[in-house]
Amino acid sequence: MAAPAPPIPLLCSAFPCRAAAYLAPPAFRTRATAWPTPALPGGYRAAHGRLVARLPVPCAAKRGGRGRGEMAVEDGDGSRALLQAALWGAEAAYILWLFLLPYAPGDPAWAISQATISDLIGLSLNFFFVLPLLNSAGVHLLESPVLHPMAEGLFNFVIAWTLLFAPLLYTDSRRDRYKGSLDVLWGFQMFLTNTFLIPYMAIRLNDPDTDRSPPPRRSRLGSVMVKGAPIVGAIGALVCALSFVWALVCRGDAAFGGIAERCQYAQSYVLSERLAYAFLWDILLYSIFQPWLIGDNIQNVKADAADFVNVVRFVPVVGIVAYLFCLEKEE
């Protein structure tokens, strides 16, 4: 009887190895299928009385690719889960520290004073300085409440920056992982800022859907924000710049003092009023989320401006304005 053919070690499950198995002599294929090859400790298998090493597959990929030719890899899952946990923890700390607990400067939400409510109403009436500027131009359909320009400047700066986030959220490549309405989310963000942006930043880190369904169509508001991104950027940049000027030099006829007195007031304001103190945290968090979101969506920027936007995205307000002006037009 002829000696059996030597075993062919199978190093991986790739196509060339399968082809080699089909090209093997018929006797080997019959015996290979008839004799089981039990696994042994240490990564070896027995084949025809010999030990054949099973080498690890160096290029194994995780099933369920992400589409667009990208290979889903398994590394980073632990860090992503840790980052999500940190974001949800930040959301809990944000609500507890700024809304519920009495330890931060000013009054918590459940013990808000009538003076704070009056300031909120006055700041809202002076939204984007429209009413004060109309009064200055001689239009007095409604009189603007006279508040400290530092308070007005801080309020409008944060709200204008929140406006700039709208086109960025509507062009986020991970927005389909958030199953709620982006219109509602951004609408509440205009009032409560990071109370709603932090959860979105955590949810967008979820695994993509396995059904590979197309992303949902944008709402009418989303389409307007994306198509008019340069206009949104211009409005937001103008209001943010005006906020600085307003805080430092405007309302000079109301005895608010010079720049030194106003800076001194700003220091006492943020250390005594919960609203102003919360705005400082909003500025800090926006300074983190802005470059993060732009970096994840740099492919939406025109090719000749991508390097510039990738650099300035770390500059508060300037980076997001650059993103909106350089956004690639959609067909």
Is 177 part of a structural domain of the chain?
yes
From 189, 175, 198, 185, select the one nearest 289 (Cα to Cα).
Answer: 198
Judge contact between 156 and 316, C-beta under 8 A: no
Angle at 196 between CA 286 and CA 119, to 5 degrees: 80
Is 59 part of a structural domain of the chain?
no
Q: Identify the pLDDT of residue 78.
A: 86
Question: How far is Cα 179 from Cα 181, in angstroms, rounded to an integer?
Answer: 7
Question: How far is Cα 217 from Cα 226, in angstroms, rounded to an integer?
Answer: 13
Position 73 pLDDT exceeds 50: no
3-state secondary structure 263-319: HHHHHHHHCCCHHHHHHHHHHHHHHHHHHHHHHHCHHHECHHHHHHHHHHCCCCCHH
Average pLDDT over residues 134-152: 94
Give how many domains the chain has, as a whole number: 1
Position 65 pLDDT exceeds 90: no
Q: Identify the pLDDT of residue 217.
A: 83
Mean pLDDT, the chain, integer: 83
**DSSP assignment of 76-98, as one string?**
THHHHHHHHHHHHHHHHHHHIII
Sign of the CA dihedral with 297 first, then 327, 160, and 310 last: positive
Q: What is the DSSP letter of 100?
A: I
Q: Identify the pLDDT of residue 57.
A: 36
Q: Identify the pLDDT of residue 10.
A: 41
Is 31 part of a structural domain of the chain?
no
**Range of weakest confidence among 48-57, 173-182, 223-232:** 48-57
Residue 55, SS3? coil
The number of CA neighbours under 13 Å toward the Cβ of 286 is 28
Judge contact between 246 and 156, C-beta under 8 A: yes
Is 20 part of a structural domain of the chain?
no
What's the chain's Rg over C-alpha atoms? 30
Judge contact between 317 and 164, C-beta under 8 A: yes
Backbone torsions φ then ψ of 2, nearest 5 degrees: -70, 145
Judge contact between 220 and 191, C-beta under 8 A: no
Residues contacting 50, CB < 8 A, separation 6+: 7
Sign of the CA dihedral with 251 first, then 256, 257, and 262 last: negative
The structure's pTM equals 0.77
Question: How far is Cα 115 from Cα 151, in angstroms, rounded to an integer?
Answer: 14
Is 118 part of a structural domain of the chain?
yes
Q: Identify the pLDDT of residue 124.
A: 96
Is 11 part of a structural domain of the chain?
no
Alpha helices in the chain (DSSP H): 15-23, 26-34, 77-95, 114-125, 130-136, 149-170, 182-192, 194-203, 220-227, 229-249, 259-270, 274-296, 306-312, 318-325
Is 214 part of a structural domain of the chain?
no
Average pLDDT over residues 90-108: 97
Give the end-to-end CA distance of the chain in Å, rounded to a whole number: 73
- The pLDDT tens digits of the residues spanning 296-328 come to 999 999 999 999 999 999 999 999 999 999 999
User: Which carries the bigger pLDDT value, residue 171 or residue 23?
Assistant: 171
* Residues spanned by the domain of 320: 77-207+219-325
